[in-house]
Amino acid sequence: MSTEHGTGVDQVLKNLRQAFDFARAKIAQWHRGREGDRERSRTVSKSFFLHYHSARVHPYSLRPATTLGLGLLSLFLFAILTVTGILLMLYYVPSIERAYASIKDIMAIVPGGRFVRNIHRWAAHGMVLSVSLHMARVFYTGAYARGRSFNWILGVFLLLLTLFLSFTGYLLPWDQLAYWAVTIGAHIAGSATELTDALGITSLVDPGRWITHLLLGASTVGQDALVRFYLLHIVLLPLLSVILIGLHLWRIRKDGGLSRPEEAERWAPSSSEKGDRTILSWPTALWAEAAVFFLALGAVLLAGYAFDAPLLGIADPTSPENPAKSAWYFLGIQELVSYSAFSGGIVIPVMLAVGLALIPILDREPAGFGRWFSGPRGRRVSTSSALFGSGVVVGLSAVAIMFGWIRDWFPEVHPLIPMALNPGTIMGAFLVAYTGRVLRRSGSTRLAALAYFTGSGVMMLLLTIIGLWFRGPDWEFYWSPSLWPIP
């Protein structure tokens, strides 16, 4: 009996020792893995996470100038947002009575709460920026061509998800900024009513109201809206993002690695007789990735330490801030809706997004693949498109600011006319016309795509700048915030 008992304990100890030896062997294997090529590629391809990139990469992909590390930066910011978001969920309460107080607690009482909230906020801003720049990089290097169109479309959805994640996070603190940004946003989503009203068919069919009810769970921003935005922000949108990010990364491998121009083959030394110029991703690619990660982490830690995330007064449904500005990345759209809610808030953004998704379908030119601007001609077209776009935005905005618009000149005009003809829609029309002109004259779809992307990018950028710095109380134009009237 006692001997049997003794054997049992011995057996457990033996098993423990075995598990320990196994772990030690594993660690030793990792070390060995750095030695032989065979072991290295095995290490990568056996690991779920490492195998997201292939065991071998082309040295051209590792040049910082190829990608600027923007996609990885977005990925790591998403990871940082997930971790800090989970920490914030420990204290945040999605109820209109307690939400604001819980954010106050996080800022003032929770140990490290202020730091974590700051990081979460700045990482969110950073992710919007890095995802947008990543898209620009992929576009300008023509990396949506050669079977990569599906991944580009995934990327467009990821950009929209990033924006929507930021927007839903906006409401949660239940402060003045949150309340009015979301009131405006929900009305923009429901602004199809403006069209049905103008046509006089709202009593028959009212899609604006359906969308408002779906988004807010009610007719106005209240407890139901807070619950819905919370659900979207913490479960639905992050889950969708994780799935799409997984697909997005997997497609890079399936599409044959990052895009690279023909010259890249000459650029890299051949490592084997077969002319294979790839190198093992362990350890070079991993070091590059680690560098981007620490850059992202360092940046948000510094920002979170140095700057506090804003928190205005508690939401007051009877009086908006003046001016009531949304987050910087929506100020371009806010500038457009200040001309017309439906065309500026729905039609133009939807057309921009659809236009982005259509780029790889309409342009299939192989030339210039992997090269910035596809060469000097593309660079010229992009520059002139940027100049043209700036001229159109500045010119039309100046006319609207100095002389008003159609309804100021003809007050009795039918509401459909300013909805169809306002500075925003005319900017869009100019952009389409310019793209068509480039297409006709050059016969190149790639050059037309460059004109379209650059033009629309510059337009949104300039509208954002106008909204950010040149709009004051009552959305009036001011040269500088120091000239705002004292209330």
What are the residues binding another protein (CB under 8 A)? 180, 183-184, 186-188, 191, 194, 197-198, 210, 213-214, 217-220, 224, 317-324, 334, 337-341, 345, 404, 407-408, 411, 415, 419, 473-476
Rounded to the nearest 5°, which phi and psi values hold at 336?
A: -70, -40
Pick 47 or 322: Cβ nearer another protein: 322
User: Judged by CB, which is closer to another protein: 181, or 292?
Assistant: 181
Distance between first and last Cα of the chain? 91
Nearer to another protein, 276 or 408 (CB): 408
Minimum CB separation of residue 23 from another protein in Å reads: 45
d(CA 298, CA 291): 10
- Determine the 3-state secondary structure of 28 from DSSP: helix
Select 180 or 229, whichever has its Cβ closest to another protein. 180
Q: How far is the CB of 321 from another protein (least distance, A)?
A: 7
Relative to beta strand 279-280, strand 56-57 is antiparallel
* Residue 313 DSSP symbol: S
Give the separation between CA 152 and CA 281, rounded to whole angstroms: 24
Work out how close the CB of 461 gets to another protein at its nearest, in angstroms, rounded to a whole number.
21
The C-alpha atoms of residue 425 and residue 133 are separated, in whole angstroms, by: 25
Rounded distance between C-alpha atoms, residue 190 and residue 183, angstroms: 11
- Residue with Cβ nearer another protein (324 or 421): 324
- Closest approach, Cβ 197 to another protein, in A, equals 6
Instruction: List helix spans (H) across 64-175.
Output: 64-67, 70-89, 99-108, 113-140, 149-171
Looking at residue 414, its amino acid is: H
Shortest gap between Cβ of 100 and another protein (angstroms)? Answer: 19
Closest separation in Å from C-beta 391 to another protein:
24
Determine which helix (DSSP H) or strand (DSSP E) holds 288, and give its type and residue range: helix 284-306
Q: What is the DSSP letter of 174?
A: -
Complex with another protein: residue 323 or 375, whichever CB lies closer: 323
| Closest CB 473 distance from another protein, rounded Å | 7
- C-beta closer to another protein: residue 257 or 323: 323
Handedness of CA 28, 34, 40, 43 (dihedral sign): positive
Of the candidates 435, 230, 193, 467, which has an alpha carbon nearest to the alpha carbon of residue 330?
A: 467
Q: Of the two residues 84 and 425, which places its CB atom closer to another protein in the complex?
A: 425
* Dist. CA 143–CA 261, nearest whole Å: 10
Nearest-10 crossing angle of helices 149-171, 223-231: 140
Looking at beta carbons only, is 2 or 318 nearer to another protein? 318
Sign, CA torsion 455/456/460/463: positive
Shortest Å distance, C-beta 432 to another protein: 23
**Shortest spacing between CB 478 and another protein, in angstroms:** 12
